[in-house]
Amino acid sequence: MSKGKKRQSTILVEGGRRKEWRGRLVNVPVERASTILFDSIEQLDASGPKLGAYRYGLQGTATHWALSEALTELEPDAAGTALYSTGLAAMTAALMSVLSSGDELFVTDSVYGPTRKFCDTVLKRFGVKTRYYDPLIGGGIANLISDKTRAILLESPGSLTMEVQDVPAICAVARERGIATVLDNTWATPLFFPAIAAGVDISVLAATKYVGGHADVMLGAATATEAHFSNLQRTSWDIGHAVSADDAWLGSRGLRTMGVRLKQHEASALKIAAWLKDQPQVGLVLHPALPDCPGHELWKRDFKGSSGLFSFELHGDTTAFADRLELFGIGYSWGGYESLVLPVNPHRAVSKAPAANLVRLHVGLEEADDLIEDIALALPT
């Protein structure tokens, strides 16, 4: 079977495990390095900075290249993957690789909060103007962009409010006008939404979430097309992004089981979302696979599955509800094996959040019926 023909579950197991990197071990080992030694100055001078070749710790070691290669293989039509110490760093580096002073950037109004903050503060200081757009705008973005627009940032589904975007339509408009697209694909991962094949130029994952999968590592990845990858990787090295070999290794370790974990996250989240929909204390259930969620039809058209994170509208005190839960931890992040809860307050610049009084759940790998019993006891009476 040729390399490109492997199915995703097989790539999750095989990806990046080259014999030349792992030797006789099953896993590529942790190779920690700053200095790489050369036999001669001539050999050192001949070592151009590139992924997959020893040069300096910044360019990584086999531990990093294995994770990069596996993530690239998961995205049909992608040319390469750069790694970062957080998901946020992956996003900011991706944006910096396509923007210059004087450019205009369009950002979905449902974007992850710290990404919004980066655009409104750091990018602003460097002369980039951020304009927000309604996440449901679809191909209508053609009416907003100007000849200064250099990039469009998408996130689908959006943070907290879960709107599913028309990614192919927005990317088609962008490509026609020579505008770069960057997508935060953390919720779906390439398993449920192969972003590059959908027309995205740079697909960003907070690998801290489902790739790591165990709430014990911070990690980011940006996977790009041939046209964007070398500039993305060079910009990232120029800024000085590097990842600890231990963290890259944890990423590869998590990746091996991401497929089976996601299937369980999906099944349990769907069961809980459907149950919540029938509770009198609950209003809208913003889960992309349910009709309440704005863009649900696009999810049905474009996605191969749904993951464990969704929000719902609670008629009652969201803080007291979260405090009463026993099986859901209270804390930032998501994508680990354990369930989490957070009352959330979406920030909007140009659009209206689809619901108020929102609670976000990350459904972990506990038995779904136990989680439902926990929620039932915590709902307001």
Q: Which residues bind ligand PLP (CB under 6 A)?
A: 86-88, 112, 159, 184, 186, 206, 208, 218, 220, 333
Backbone phi, then psi, for 348, in 5-degree steps?
-130, 140
Least gap, CB of 288 to ligand PLP (angstroms): 13
Q: 């991401």: which residue's tokens?
A: 258
- What's CA 151's distance to the chain center, in Å? 18
Q: How far is CA 48 from CA 55, 97, 237, 366, in A?
A: 7, 20, 13, 48
Q: Which is nearer to ligand PLP, 173 or 218 (CB)?
A: 218
Q: Which is nearer to ligand PLP, 8 or 203 (CB)?
A: 203
Q: How far is CA 134 from CA 20, 165, 195, 343, in A?
A: 48, 9, 20, 23
Q: How far apart are CA 83 and CA 248, in angstroms?
A: 8
Residues in the chain: 381
Q: Which is nearer to ligand PLP, 112 or 237 (CB)?
A: 112
Least gap, CB of 267 to ligand PLP (angstroms): 22
Q: 């070398």: which residue's tokens?
A: 230
Q: Which is nearer to ligand PLP, 74 or 206 (CB)?
A: 206
Residue 141 contacts residue 173 (beta carbons within 8 Å): yes
Q: Which is nearer to ligand PLP, 99 or 218 (CB)?
A: 218
Q: Going by C-beta distance under 8 Å and a sequence separation of 6 or more, which residues neighbour residue 370?
A: 327
Least gap, CB of 39 to ligand PLP (angstroms): 39
Least gap, CB of 102 to ligand PLP (angstroms): 27
Q: Which is nearer to ligand PLP, 62 or 362 (CB)?
A: 362
Least gap, CB of 321 to ligand PLP (angstroms): 21
Q: Which is nearer to ligand PLP, 23 or 332 (CB)?
A: 332
Least gap, CB of 220 to ligand PLP (angstroms): 6
Residues of 83-93 as b/e, b for ≥16 C-beta within 10 angstroms? Answer: bbbbbbbbbbb
Q: Which is nearer to ligand PLP, 21 or 86 (CB)?
A: 86
- Cα angle, residue 129 at apex, residues 127 and 132 outer, rounded to 5°: 160
CA dihedral 237, 242, 248, 254 (to 10 degrees): -80
Specify which residues 265 forms β-bridges with.
Answer: none
Does residue 157 have a cis bond before it (omega within 30 degrees)?
yes
Q: Which is nearer to ligand PLP, 72 or 186 (CB)?
A: 186
Report the greatest alpha carbon distance in the chain. Answer: 76
Q: How far apart are CA 154 and CA 124, in angstroms?
A: 19
Least gap, CB of 86 to ligand PLP (angstroms): 3
Residue nearest to ligand PLP (CB): 87
Least gap, CB of 268 to ligand PLP (angstroms): 19
Could you tell me the two tokens for 124? 């602003």
Q: How far apart are CA 191 and CA 226, in angstroms?
A: 21
Least gap, CB of 218 to ligand PLP (angstroms): 5
